[in-house]
């Protein structure tokens, strides 16, 4: 999704803006640009990667500027549609993340009043509205302009001769990085980590006036205080650290992520008020990979807490009114900025339903909407494909279920032992990946694949398929193993490999039967199975052998193996692993 950055200080803005944009590339974009003022505004923008723009653009002098990576929604990716956008005079430049719903109407009015437009974007109405209302006070003009606007936005406004940037947000992420005689603005924290680890988070409806020497936040014209936060993420967290791709680095960070996330809760004796309340059932909502974590959560929580759990896609929840009597809601979102989840959370809060959110991003919009927030400790996840954030979400779900469990003490003691062993088991998967790499090379030659699992590993089949399709562009379907014969069998043959997740639980025998059925239709089978499983060796064409352990934790090791399988398959196919086509890290539009 779009990313915005701003700089004002003692230094030349151009290189800082370009560096901040490079740090935001992971969000996904099709074009980029910057505007810098040294008394007059100069804009450079194009359908290019940030690196290419950096090497081809002229030097622009100036100590204040704004920048943007665009992910097209209104108007094709083109030089003219790229941000920043200007008013008629060329004295006001704006970058915007979000969607202006009433832009057509505003544009018609502005055109009738004599404004001329050059792009097809919704954003371009903003500089023109500010121009219309500007009578010497920029912040007031921005505030008045935004009163006309319906939709979501995080904006930065640069004026040619003003020693300040004006920022505002509504339903789109924006942080202000606090420096020494300089300040930064960005859509998210990794963009500014090279310069500062201090940040302010604006509330929806706030207007920020950001100068070199100070930041003032106002609401309805009145000054308000916004607390400064120390960012715990380091510069190294947001760098590749010697790995070829962020995704590989992030996969390898998982033993640490498991330890940190669990350590946080066990040491701080964290509590989840939602679970303390006398809820009769739980509704979990999420999107994409987080939705798969939610599905695993259903198995764990129903098993250990004995309450009914319903899992819904946040994007679907927005179209019907679920019955919520006695229900508590749990939202799961890595970024905390996914538009579908924010909308669903607001809807639930609006009808009085308590919502606990599990998120990875401190100060994110989701954490502000929720009645309670539990943070995962994954660190910044840069690759578009979610890996370590998924594992961290599972850890919080295990912790929640175990903390409020109604299971007997013996079962819980076994689980505590099992969960403590997880970092080492994941490390074993990472250390023994030769077989996975071999299978990936084989898989890379196909254009379709099925992933099958049962029980708690059915969601892992969905997640394995999602990972493979999003980064390798192989069409992959996740399927409950028992469902194959209800339709998908029609597709099976020697040209469609089936990746089968075989767990040592009550699904085991049924899974072996399903694998026999698949083999009988000529499809090659790659099985994920525990070490010592002799039966599977006889059945599958190849076996990815994984460490033994309590089956309730098998989703974790199985997922790590499937992440590696997807990663190496995509690498064999020469795909742009960290930034797959058409995808964005944080999906801030519906
Ligand atoms: O930030 P969120 O967890 O709310 O994001 C939800 C999905 O967009 C996300 O999990 C997506 O499916 C992954 N990038 C896929 O790897």
Q: Are residues 60 and 91 in the same domain?
A: yes
**Per the structure block, which two tokens stand in for 59?**
């030097």
Say whether 2 is catalytic: yes
Domain final residue, candidates 237, 267, 299: 237
**Phi, psi of 528, deg, nearest 5:** -100, 120
584 in any annotated domain: no
588 in any annotated domain: no
Q: Are residues 348 and 381 in the same domain?
A: yes
pLDDT of amino acid 407: 82
Residue with tokens 């004295």: 91
Q: Are residues 397 and 438 in the same domain?
A: no
Report the alpha-carbon distance of residue 167 to residue 165 in Å, rounded: 6
585 in any annotated domain: no
Q: Are residues 181 and 263 in the same domain?
A: no
Residue to substitute in 314, 587, 588, 589 for testing ligand 1 pocket (most ligand atoms within 8 angstroms of CB) = 587
- In terms of Cβ atoms closer than 10 Å to its own Cβ (0-12, 13-18, 19+), residue 538 is exposed
Catalytic residue among 2, 20, 32, 479: 2
Q: Are residues 253 and 374 in the same domain?
A: yes
**Per the structure block, which two tokens stand in for 227?**
């607390």
Q: Are residues 231 and 251 in the same domain?
A: no
Name which residue leads in pLDDT, 119 or 280.
119
Contact 526, 540 (CB under 8 A): yes
Domain final residue, candidates 402, 420, 438: 420
131 in any annotated domain: yes
Q: Are residues 410 and 435 in the same domain?
A: no
Q: How far is the CA of 399 from the centre of ligand 1 (A)?
A: 22
Q: Are residues 357 and 489 in the same domain?
A: no
Asked if residue 104 has pLDDT above 50, the reply is yes
- Reported as a pLDDT band with limits 50, 70 and 90, residue 2 is confident
pLDDT of amino acid 265: 60
589 in any annotated domain: no
**Chain segment 276-313, per-residue pLDDT in tens:** 667 889 999 999 999 999 999 999 999 998 899 999 99
Report the alpha-carbon distance of residue 323 to residue 321 in Å, rounded: 6
Nearest CA to ligand 1 atom 8: 288
Domain final residue, candidates 195, 215, 237: 237
Q: What number does the ligand 1 atom closest to the CA of 340 have? A: 4
Asked if residue 408 has pLDDT above 80, the reply is yes
C-beta neighbour count of 253 within 10 angstroms: 22
**Per the structure block, which two tokens stand in for 194?**
């090279």
CATH number assigned to the domain comprising residue 131: 3.60.20.10
Quote the DSSP letter at residue 59: P
- Reported as a pLDDT band with limits 50, 70 and 90, residue 156 is very high
Asked if residue 322 has pLDDT above 60, the reply is yes
**Chain segment 540-569, per-residue pLDDT in tens:** 999 999 999 999 999 999 999 999 999 999
Residue with tokens 């898989």: 443
Report the alpha-carbon distance of residue 185 to residue 276 in Å, rounded: 39
Q: Are residues 232 and 251 in the same domain?
A: no
Report the alpha-carbon distance of residue 336 to residue 358 in Å, rounded: 8
Report the alpha-carbon distance of residue 161 to residue 318 in Å, rounded: 45
425 in any annotated domain: no
Q: Are residues 415 and 469 in the same domain?
A: no
Handedness of CA 314, 316, 318, 324 (dihedral sign): negative
Report the alpha-carbon distance of residue 352 to residue 70 in Å, rounded: 37
587 in any annotated domain: no
SS3 64: strand
Asked if residue 268 has pLDDT above 50, the reply is no
Q: How far is the CA of 431 from the centre of ligand 1 (A)?
A: 27
Asked if residue 158 has pLDDT above 60, the reply is yes
Quote the DSSP letter at residue 484: G
SS3 190: helix
Contact 298, 284 (CB under 8 A): yes
Report the alpha-carbon distance of residue 202 to residue 217 in Å, rounded: 8
CB of 335 within 6 A of ligand 1: the answer is yes
374 in any annotated domain: yes
Write out the E strands in 57-110: 64-70, 85-86, 92-100
Q: Which domain holds residue 91?
A: 3-237
Q: Are residues 464 and 403 in the same domain?
A: no
CB of 387 within 6 A of ligand 1: the answer is no
Average pLDDT over residues 113-125: 94
Give how many domains the chain has, as a whole number.
Answer: 3
Average pLDDT over residues 447-464: 98
Angle at which helices 388-403 and 554-572 cross, to 10°: 170
Contact 372, 356 (CB under 8 A): yes
Taking all residues of the chain, what is their mean pLDDT, rounded to a whole number? 92
Contact 88, 115 (CB under 8 A): yes
Q: Are residues 219 and 314 in the same domain?
A: no
CATH number assigned to the domain comprising residue 394: 3.40.50.10490
**Chain segment 219-260, per-residue pLDDT in tens:** 988 999 998 988 888 777 777 878 999 999 999 999 999 998
């Amino acid at each position: 999704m779009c990313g915005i950055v701003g700089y004002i200080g003692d230094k030349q803005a151009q290189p800082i803006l370009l560096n901040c944009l490079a740090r935001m590339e992971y969000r996904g974009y099709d074009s980029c640009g910057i505007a810098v003022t040294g008394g007059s505004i100069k804009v450079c923008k194009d359908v290019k990667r940030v690196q290419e723009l950096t090497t081809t653009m002229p030097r622009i002098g100036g100590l204040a500027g704004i920048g943007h990576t665009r992910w097209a929604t209104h108007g094709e990716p083109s030089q003219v549609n790229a941000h920043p956008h200007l008013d008629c005079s060329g004295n006001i430049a704006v970058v915007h993340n979000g969607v202006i719903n009433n832009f057509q109407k505003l544009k018609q009015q502005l055109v009738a009043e004599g404004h001329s437009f050059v792009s097809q974007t919704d954003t371009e109405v903003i500089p023109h509205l500010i121009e219309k209302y500007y009578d010497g006070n920029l912040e007031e003009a921005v505030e008045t302009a935004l009163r006309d606007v319906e939709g979501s936005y995080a904006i930065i406004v640069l004026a040619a001769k003003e020693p300040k940037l004006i920022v505002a947000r509504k339903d789109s992420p924006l942080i202000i990085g606090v420096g020494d005689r300089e300040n930064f603005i960005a859509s998210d924290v990794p963009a500014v980590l090279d310069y500062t680890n201090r940040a302010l988070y604006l509330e929806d409806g706030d207007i920020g006036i950001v100068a070199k020497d100070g930041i003032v936040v106002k609401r309805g014209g009145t000054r308000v205080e916004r607390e400064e936060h120390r960012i715990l993420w380091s510069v190294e967290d947001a760098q590749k650290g010697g790995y070829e791709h962020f995704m590989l680095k992030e996969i390898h960070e998982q033993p640490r992520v498991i330890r940190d996330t669990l350590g946080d809760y066990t040491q701080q004796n964290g509590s989840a008020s939602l679970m303390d309340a006398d809820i009769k059932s739980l509704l979990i909502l999420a999107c994409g990979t987080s939705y798969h974590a939610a599905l695993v959560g259903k198995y764990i929580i129903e098993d250990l807490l004995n309450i009914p759990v319903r899992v819904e896609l946040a994007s679907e929840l927005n179209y019907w009114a679920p019955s919520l009597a006695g229900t508590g809601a749990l939202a799961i979102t890595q970024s905390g900025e996914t538009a579908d989840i924010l909308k669903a959370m607001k809807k639930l809060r609006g009808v009085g339903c308590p919502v606990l959110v599990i998120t990875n991003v401190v100060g994110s919009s989701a954490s502000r909407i929720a009645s309670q927030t539990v943070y995962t400790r994954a660190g910044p996840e840069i690759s578009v494909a979610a890996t370590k954030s998924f594992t961290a979400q599972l850890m919080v779900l295990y912790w929640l279920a175990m903390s409020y469990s109604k299971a007997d003490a013996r079962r819980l003691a076994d689980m505590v032992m099992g969960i403590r062993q997880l970092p080492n088991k994941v490390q074993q998967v990472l250390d023994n990946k030769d077989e996975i790499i071999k299978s990936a090379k084989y898989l890379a030659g196909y254009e379709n694949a099925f992933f099958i699992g049962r029980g708690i590993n059915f969601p892992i089949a969905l997640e394995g398929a999602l990972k493979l399709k999003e980064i390798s562009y192989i069409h992959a379907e996740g399927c409950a193993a028992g469902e194959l014969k209800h339709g998908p069998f029609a597709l099976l043959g020697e040209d469609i490999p089936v990746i089968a997740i075989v767990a040592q639980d009550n699904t085991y025998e049924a899974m072996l039967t399903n694998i026999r059925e698949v083999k009988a239709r000529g499809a090659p089978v790659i099985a994920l199975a525990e070490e010592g499983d002799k039966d599977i060796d006889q059945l599958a064409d190849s076996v990815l052998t994984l460490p033994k352990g309590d089956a309730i934790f098998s989703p974790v090791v199985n997922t790590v193996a499937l992440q590696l399988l997807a990663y190496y398959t995509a690498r064999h196919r020469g795909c742009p692993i960290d930034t797959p086509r058409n995808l964005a890290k944080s999906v801030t539009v519906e």
